[in-house]
Amino acid sequence: MKILDRWFLHPLWLTVTWVVLAFLALQLFFAARIALMIVVNPESTAFERTQAWQIQQAKGRLPWRQTWVDYDQISKHLKRAVIVSEDDGFVNHDGVDWDALEKAWQKNARAEAQAQRQGKAVAKPPKVVGGSTISQQLAKNLFLSGERTLWRKSQEFIITFWLEVLLSKQRILEIYLNHVEWGEGVFGAEAAAQHYFRKSAAQLSPEEAARLAVMLPRPKYFEKLPNSAYLAERSAVIAQRLMRAELP
């Protein structure tokens, strides 16, 4: 018994215990915050707060556009366009599209191998990019930093699990569409619709919705290049596929 007492009081064991308890407490904190979102609309996300600070530091002012609108006040065209463009299996998967994630890993591995062949330094651990579902993107935006590491990706998986367990698919999409970035200081469907088309999110046409959906991976880039040939061509493709999207 004394041996066990000495073992449990060993500094290393105490450190491990506190680390594990802190980790579990953090996960419960995330779960509680997400459970609250069942009935309370989140006012901001970690990503938005970071962007606000960066804009204010760079410009000394904060041009900010965001207005929450309920799910039924967002055009079905936009919901369909975002699902088609970002996550066509949204209503069916458990939060993670494992096939897409595997392809992203393979893409990263090829990029790293090419960099090594060219004599370029490769950061370790490897960056995990691409393959993120709408649920994963929301998990990252709500609570996490923008760094691309295995630790951050692992935490993203856990938060995604809580989102899928505690919230409906409709609620996940509603929160996502109200907080996703659509330009510098432009967040959410309503702000994007007003900023780019001078109309409400409920009034977006299929073509306008498709254009906004295509902007999502690089909103600031496309905000500066509204006449991009890629943006026009890809938007036309997404607009033609809208009816294939299954809404929650």
What would the DSSP string read from start to end of 138-172?
HHHHHH--S---HHHHHHHHHHHHHHHHHS-HHHH
Please report the beta strands in 78-224, taking only residues with DSSP state E, as ranges in sequence order: 181-183, 186-187
Range among 18-22, 56-60, 234-238 rated most confident? 234-238
- 157 band by pLDDT with thresholds 50, 70 and 90: very high
3-state secondary structure of 112: helix
Rounded distance, CA 98 to CA 10, Å? 41
3-state secondary structure of 1: coil
Please report the beta strands in the chain, taking only residues with DSSP state E, as ranges in sequence order: 181-183, 186-187
Which of 52-61, 69-78, 192-201, 210-219 bottoms out in mean pLDDT, i.e. has the lowest?
Answer: 52-61
**pLDDT for res 91:** 94
Which residues does residue 183 pair with via DSSP β-bridges, in sequence order?
A: 186
What DSSP designation does 208 have?
Answer: H
Ramachandran angles phi, psi of 65, nearest 5°: -130, 120
Mean pLDDT of 17-29: 85
Answer yes or no: are the C-beta atoms of 178 and 68 closer than 8 Å. yes
Rounded distance, CA 96 to CA 27, Å? 18
Mean pLDDT of 205-212: 97
pTM, to two decimals: 0.85
**pLDDT for res 124:** 43
Amino acid identity of 146?
A: G
Q: Which residues of 106-119 are buried (b: 16+ CB within 10 A; e: fewer)?
A: eebeeebeeeeeee
**pLDDT for res 11:** 67
**pLDDT for res 125:** 42
Residues contacting 44, CB < 8 A, separation 6+:
179
What the chain holds in terms of domains, given with CATH numbers, is 37-95+133-244 (1.10.3810.10), 98-132 (no CATH)
Distances (CA, A) of 107 to 97, 102, 207: 15, 9, 31
- 123 band by pLDDT with thresholds 50, 70 and 90: very low
